[in-house]
Amino acid sequence: MLEFIRSITTGRHDEDGASAVEYGLLVAGIAALIVVTVFAFGGVIKGAFENTCKTVKGSGTAASSC
């Protein structure tokens, strides 16, 4: 009877550990995807904001505050 209780409680803890590892890998994958996306589109987005800043200022040149 004691071995049965040990097997039930041990199995439950092993599954929790596997879930934590899986969630950790999922979070690491999402973080890597965010980093790649920022590096890939960072320049394009920066250029769009600079162009918008120029248009709003109306000067046609890059202002020091943009």
Token pair of 11 as six digits: 């199995």
Provide the pLDDT for residue 36.
Answer: 95
Q: What is the DSSP string of the chain?
A: -HHHHHHHHHHHHHHHHHHHHHHHHHHHHHHHHHHHHHHHHHHHHHHHHHHHHHHHHTSSS--TT-
Provide the pLDDT for residue 59.
Answer: 62
Could you give the CA distance from residue 24 to residue 29 in angstroms, rounded to a whole number? 9
Provide the pLDDT for residue 30.
Answer: 97
Q: Over the stretch 23-61, which tens digit does the pLDDT of each residue have?
A: 999 999 999 999 999 999 988 888 888 988 888 888 655
Task: Please state the rounded mean pLDDT for residues 5-32.
Answer: 78
Provide the pLDDT for residue 65.
Answer: 62
